[in-house]
Structures are given as structure tokens and as C-alpha cells.
Structure 1
Amino acid sequence: MKRIYIIEDEMPIARLMQVYLQRAGYEVNWNDGNQDPVQTFLSWRPDLVLLDLMLPDHDGLDILEQIRQYNSCPVIIITARGTVPDKLQGLAQGADDYIAKPFDPEEVLARVQAVLRRSSYLAEADTIRLGTLTIDFSAQNVLLGKEPVSLMPRDWQLLAFMARHPNQCFSRDQLLDQVWGMDFDGGDRAVDTAVKRLRKSLQQWPGTEGEITTIRGMGYSLRVY
């Protein structure tokens, strides 16, 4: 049974989501913000988080940032802050989806199911196709159309990691930990260098399908369109 963790201080909204999710067969845990949201996240280990941004004692984006430091658990933001800049900021910091209040609970359920399906596919698939870009994890090779893309081993590892987590922003430190390893002592500029090489290797990948973007002050993201 998949676990859904709701971080929401408004009880009527939390209860409404809880009822719909439980009816759909999910196990649900609700945190109104009085308990430490991140500690509960770490101890309960949910499959997906529904996160309000406007909590009385916490900043939702700070919670999202802390979650991203630990793993890539899918996070859907549900908030009254529904302007385009708010949405772009939430997605840039690693949210998988963004829903503005007021909302239809059926839509929330549909979004949850869609994000979980996508996350399961990306985690388990041996091959991922992003438009004309094909990434074969078993063979550790990359094709653009039918043409092979030659990558250095580290660049392959970086692309493989980011392809498993599309549309999420990772800081240099996070990429160093996940791709280079905790014991790497070469400095975070190694990430910039690898990204530059990777972009050059993928320069024929149509920008309408995807790209490796720089999120100023935050890090890098493999955007898929």
C-alpha cells in the first residue's frame, strides 16, 4: 500500500484529502505543522508528499528543500499561492506538481496517481525515452535518434541520475553526493564541468523535447517538455 504524507495546517482541507486518498486505497499520515514535518517524513518514509506552503511555524519551500536533501520522494505542492511566479519557484525547487487552492479533491487524487505512476516507471525502467533521446540503463548507453552519443563515465552517471529525476532541481552539493560520492574532494566545480560536457554531447537534442537548465542560485535540472 502506497503511503501519502499530508503537510497541511487547515484541518477541513487535510481531512477532505485524507478521505479521498484512503478511499482510493492509500495509507495517509497527516501533519498539521505542530510536529516537525521533516522528522516525521524521515521516520515514516512516505511514497508521496502533499505539501502546503503557508504553514504557521514553517516555510513550505524550506521543507521541500530539506526533503530534497535526503531523497527524491515525489512532492506535490497544494497552496493558496497560485501565481505563475509561485508555481515556477516551487517547480524549480523540486516539486513534481503544483495545485492551487481551492481545488477539486478528484483532481488531487488524479494528480497523485499520475505522479506515482511516473515515479514508478522512472525508478524501474531499464530504458527511458525522452523524445528522441533514449537512455538505456542496462547497457549504459545513450542514443539520439539512431545515433549513439559518446559520454565519459562520469557524464553518463550524471545524465542517468538526472534522467531518473526529471524536472527536479539539484544543487551542486546534492549532485556531488549522488553522482561523485561523499568521499570526492575535487570541489563543486566538477559538476559545472560535467554539465558543460554533457550539454555539448547533447547539443543535437531538440530544445522542444528537453534540456539541462541552470536554476540561478539553486543548481541544475533536466527539464523534459
Structure 2
Amino acid sequence: MSSEKTAPAEPLQYDEGYGTQIGVGPHPEPWPQDDRLDPELLAHGDRRNVVDEYRYWRREAIVADLDTRRHDFHVAVENWGHDFNIGSVVRTANAFLAKEIHIVGQRRWNRRGAMVTDRYQHVRHHPDTADLTAWAAAEELPIIGIDNLPGSVPLETTELPRRCVLLFGQEGPGLTEEARRHASLVCSIAQFGSTRSINAGAAAAIAMHAWIGRHARIEGPPAR
């Protein structure tokens, strides 16, 4: 496999409105000799929701590359009512490179907000919280619930374990009673306004970024 960087075609014009094309067009010939690249994308262009580093790469090659540097936290989401926020949580988990994503409850979940980022993640299904708990125990991973509940501890002053499962409930009801019982710890997010709660997808992003701030290796300005 060649280690030579791919020289992408000229980027397509990007419009902040929805429904517009992003990415790059067909790659100029001769094409680079690299088995990570997809001939179909080279021929027709790559307009997927991926960073420029992965333009023209096969999906399997992208996943394999991400697997070499995934972080040590997992993300679990309760899915009892087909919550549309799950897609947003999955997209954020991809952005912060979670080890795996766990869907607890219904197997089918609302993928719209994920923007196809689930294709580049490992997604595992658990029929109920007990199954998630058994899996986490076998992997020696503490489950950290995220919810503003009586007895919860502030996320802002809590040292999150490097290896853990961050468990999120659904919009509205939050974590189920069973999830609360199985969690090793429940962390709350500090709020200062009048609203009773913040959006579940936003809460998940805050919690994942808290893990990143404590454990991720940050080198220089973001290149991705």
C-alpha cells in the first residue's frame, strides 16, 4: 500500500444551504496507485461527509484507519421510542472517535441526524440494559450515566475514567430507572438558566467533549 498522500481534485463549491453538493469531483488521471482508493469515487467524485484526508478512500479503508486510533470510551444510547436525537449522538461519537456505539432497546433507530457517520463506526445492539451491563462487566468497563438527577455528581469536577461507557437516555424522560441502577456513576451537567434541561444530543456532546478534554492527545491546531 502506498503511503503517498492523495492529491484531491479541485473542491466543489460549498453552499451553507441544505441539499447542495460538497466534496470533490472526479480525480484527474493518471490515478494514484493506492489500494485504499475506490475506483468509482475516483471516476465520479467524492461527495461524502468525510474529512479531506479520506477523499476517494474506500469505506472499509477509512474504518480500518480509524480503528488504529479510536479512543477508549464507548457511547451507549437508550432507544425505547425511536428518539430522533440518537442520530445526533452517533454523529458526535464519530467526531470524537468513540470506540463503539451501543444502541439499547429497539434495534431500529432514527439515522437521519447521523449524516451516514454510522458507516464509519462500530455499532452494537443490546436488547435491554441488563445485556449492556453484562457486556460492560465482561469488558471491565464502568458505566457512567449522564443525567441531571438527585444524587448525581458534577461532570465538570469529576474525573471520568479513561476506559468507560457513557450512557445517555432519551429526550424528555432521560435515563430509565434500570439504567440508573446499573450505572457506576451518574454525572450531571451544570446549568444556569431557567430551562429544566438541555437537548439530549447537546448533553451527549458536552459529556464526550469532557472525556476528550481529560484524556485525548491534542497536538497543535486541528488538521481535520
| Superposition TM-score, scaled by structure 1 size | 0.30
The structure richer in helix per residue is 1
The structure richer in strand per residue is 1
| Structure possessing the higher relative contact order (Cα contacts under 8 Å, 6 or more residues apart) | 2
